[in-house]
């Protein structure tokens, strides 16, 4: 199995695990803000989708695809989202498919490129995909599970 195939499989698994957690969330829990300055479960999930656009921008920039020189913005102040559970699930599915197509197209030389913009630890692109893109899905899934456990 090539490195890109493993990353692709891990990305799909992370997305499936995240979706399995958020899809059954009831609207009241989706919008519940568990404390001051703490995101609702819905905001966590919507943030994953928003950040996936940014993380895929990093991959595209690193491999030299034509992208905007301005990084995609991430809204962090709002504690809830205007998106429904279903809208968020569909967006995550679409962005995961986009990301999967991007990852599967990468060759070993591209995966070995230094990530742009440079990361704190001078990561190679493969490491950035694993730690930042896939890891982001996993960390927010864990946050959502914890929040749901705190209110149920």
Q: How far apart are CA 8 and CA 14, in angstroms?
A: 10
Residue 14: pLDDT over 70: yes
Average pLDDT over residues 74-98: 94
3-state secondary structure of 43: helix
Instruction: Give the start-to-end residue ranges of the domains of the chain.
Output: 46-72+80-152
Which residue in 91, 133, 125, 139 sits closest to 3, CA to CA?
A: 125
pLDDT attached to residue 152: 52
Residues 148/24, Cβ–Cβ less than 8 Å: no
Q: How far apart are CA 113 and CA 60, in angstroms?
A: 12
Give 132's contacts (C-beta < 8 A, 6+ positions apart). 55, 58, 119
Residues 138/17, Cβ–Cβ less than 8 Å: yes
Average pLDDT taken over every residue of the chain: 92
* Number of residues written out for the chain: 152
3-state secondary structure of 144: helix
Higher pLDDT, residue 73 or 86: 86
pLDDT attached to residue 151: 58
Residue 121: pLDDT over 90: no
Q: How far apart are CA 115 and CA 122, in angstroms?
A: 7
pLDDT attached to residue 71: 81
Q: CA geometry: angle at 74 spanning 69 and 77, to 5°?
A: 145
Structure tokens at 75: 């809204």
């Amino acid at each position: 199995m090539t490195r890109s195939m493993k990353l692709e499989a891990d990305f799909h698994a992370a997305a499936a695990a995240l979706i399995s957690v958020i899809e059954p969330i009831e609207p009241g829990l989706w919008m519940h803000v568990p404390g001051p300055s703490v995101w609702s479960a819905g905001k966590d999930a919507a943030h994953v989708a928003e950040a996936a656009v940014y993380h895929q921008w990093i991959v595209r920039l690193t491999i030299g695809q034509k992208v905007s020189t301005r990084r995609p913005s991430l809204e962090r102040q709002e504690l809830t989202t205007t998106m429904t559970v279903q809208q968020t699930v569909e967006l995550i599915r679409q962005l995961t498919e986009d990301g999967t197509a991007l990852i599967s197209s990468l060759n070993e030389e591209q995966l070995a490129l230094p990530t742009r913009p440079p990361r704190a630890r001078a990561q190679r692109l493969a490491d950035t995909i694993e730690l930042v893109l896939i890891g982001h899905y996993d960390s927010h899934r864990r946050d959502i599970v914890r929040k749901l456990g705190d209110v149920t």
